[in-house]
């Protein structure tokens, strides 16, 4: 299997680029943020719980997120692989993903980390608010919290994959197509 962790701060382009990658390599795209938003739209208990954290720009607790991811993965027993978008966001989540994939006889193939400076992220997220309909894109305070949460809790996940020799940093500035090409080259070089 080809299992890709597409990593980066909020606004780095993970969702957009995941769509391109999933098509080219026939992977199943799993976005934990999309899953939480789906649950919220359905008014489930999980959706309401997630909203408490995401509305402020914080992270949903690890065990809740990991359980949701496990359930989602189990729905796709015969895919070529997965592209994980927005997961793992903490080191315990990364450990849980390793264990889960190991139990399936597979592993993370690579982490592709999109690098985008903070000022550019803010510009992108404020622009995205016009079309995304996401409350957490609309409020500059929440955007700042999401970036701070990334720096504090999520960035260390890079070290986890670097220690395994799986980290590839990708310049996340430029046109969407240029960034897609960089990601394809990184995947093809595995």
Residues that bind ligand AMP (CB under 6 A): 10, 32-33, 36, 53-54, 57-60, 65, 86-87, 89, 93, 136, 146
Q: What is the nearest approach in angstroms of ligand AMP to the Cβ of residue 93?
A: 6
Give yes or no: 134 in active site: yes
Q: What is the nearest approach in angstroms of ligand AMP to the Cβ of residue 24?
A: 21
Let me know the angle formed at the C-alpha of 66 by 61 and 72, rounded to the nearest 5 degrees. Answer: 130
What sign results for the dihedral spanned by CA atoms 168, 94, 144, 43? positive
Question: In a 3-state reduction of DSSP, which class is residue 168?
Answer: strand
Q: Which is nearer to ligand AMP, 176 or 190 (CB)?
A: 176
Active-site residue, from 134, 155, 158, 166? 134
Q: Which is nearer to ligand AMP, 8 or 81 (CB)?
A: 8
Give yes or no: 124 in active site: no
Give yes or no: 14 in active site: yes
Active-site residue, from 51, 122, 128, 155? 128
DSSP 20-40: HHHHHHT-EEEEHHHHHHHHH
Q: Which helix (H) or strand (E) holds 127?
A: helix 118-132
């Amino acid at each position: 299997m080809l299992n890709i962790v597409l990593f980066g701060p909020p606004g780095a382009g993970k969702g957009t680029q995941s769509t391109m990658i999933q098509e080219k390599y026939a992977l199943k795209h799993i976005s934990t943020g999309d899953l939480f938003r789906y649950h919220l739209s359905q008014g489930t208990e999980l959706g309401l719980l997630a909203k408490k954290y995401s509305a402020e720009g914080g992270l949903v607790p690890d065990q809740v997120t990991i359980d949701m991811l496990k359930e989602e993965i189990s729905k796709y027993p015969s895919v070529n692989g997965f592209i994980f978008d927005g997961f793992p966001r903490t080191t315990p989540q990364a450990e849980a993903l390793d264990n889960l994939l190991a139990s399936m006889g597979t592993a993370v193939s690579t982490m592709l980390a999109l690098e985008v400076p903070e000022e550019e992220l803010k510009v992108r997220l404020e622009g995205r608010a016009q079309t995304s309909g996401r409350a957490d894109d609309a409020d500059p305070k929440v955007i700042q919290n999401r970036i701070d949460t990334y720096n504090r809790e999520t960035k260390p996940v890079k070290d986890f994959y670097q220690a395994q020799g799986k980290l590839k940093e990708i310049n996340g500035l430029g046109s969407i197509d240029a960034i897609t090409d960089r990601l394809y080259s990184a995947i093809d070089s595995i």
